[in-house]
Amino acid sequence: MAVEKHKPVTPALTEWEYAPAPEARDIVSLEERYGLYVGGELVEPRSGEWFTTLSPATEEPLAEVAQAGAEDVDSAVTAARGAFQDGWSGLAPSERAKYLFRIARILQERSRELAVLESLNGGKPIRESRDVDLPLAAAHFFYYAGWADKLEYAFPNRRPLPLGVAGQIIPWNFPLLMLAWKIAPALAAGNTVVLKPAETTPLTALFFAEVCRQAELPPGVVNIVTGDGRTGAEIVRHDGVDKIAFTGSTEVGKAIQRELAGTGTRLTLELGGKAANIIFDDAALDQAVEGIVNGIYFNQGHVCCAGSRLLVQESIYEATIAKLKRRLETLRVGDPLDKNTDVGAINSRMQLEKIAELVEAGKEEGAEIYQPPCRLPEKGYWFAPTVFTNVAQSYRIAQEEIFGPVLSVLTFRTPEEAIEKANNTPYGLSAGVWTEKGSRILWMAERLRAGVVWANTFNRFDPSSPFGGYKESGFGREGGRHGLEPYLRFDA
Ligand code: NAI
Ligand code: MG
Ligand closest to 275 (CA) is 1
- Percentage, residues of the chain above pLDDT 70: 97
Report which secondary-structure segment, H or E, holds 237. helix 229-237
> Mean pLDDT, to the nearest integer, of 102-120?
98
Could you give the strand order of the β-sheet that contains 266-270, starting from the edge strand earlier in sequence? Answer: 41-43, 36-38, 222-224, 192-196, 165-169, 243-247, 266-270, 474-475
Which ligand 1 atom minimizes the distance to the CA of 251? Answer: 2
Q: Please name the residues in contact with 111: beta carbons below 8 A apart, sequence gap of 6 or more.
A: 130, 134, 135, 138
pLDDT for the residue 97: 98
Question: Measuring from each residue's beta carbon to the nearest atom of ligand 1, which residues come in under 6 Å?
Answer: 169-171, 173, 196, 198-199, 228-229, 232-233, 236, 247-249, 252, 255-256, 270-272, 304, 351, 354, 401, 403
Nearest to 402 by CA among 368, 360, 452, 459: 360
244, pLDDT greater than 80:
yes
pLDDT for the residue 4: 57
1, pLDDT greater than 60:
no
Residue pLDDT, tens place only, 223-237: 999 999 999 999 999
Is residue 304 among the annotated active site residues? yes
Q: 3-state class of 299 per DSSP?
A: helix
* Polymer length of the chain: 492
Q: What is the mean pLDDT of the chain?
A: 96
Which ligand 1 atom minimizes the distance to the CA of 169? Answer: 9
Residue pLDDT, tens place only, 430-449: 999 999 999 999 999 999 99
5, pLDDT greater than 70:
no
Residue pLDDT, tens place only, 174-229: 999 999 999 999 999 999 999 999 999 999 999 999 999 999 999 999 999 999 99
Which ligand 1 atom minimizes the distance to the CA of 273? Answer: 41
Could you give the strand order of the β-sheet that contains 276-279, starting from the edge strand earlier in sequence? Answer: 368-370, 386-389, 406-412, 309-313, 276-279, 430-434, 452-455
Q: 3-state class of 192 per DSSP?
A: strand
**Burial zone of 262 (CB within 10 Å; 0-12 exposed, 13-18 middle, 19+ buried):** exposed
> Mean pLDDT, to the nearest integer, of 41-66?
98
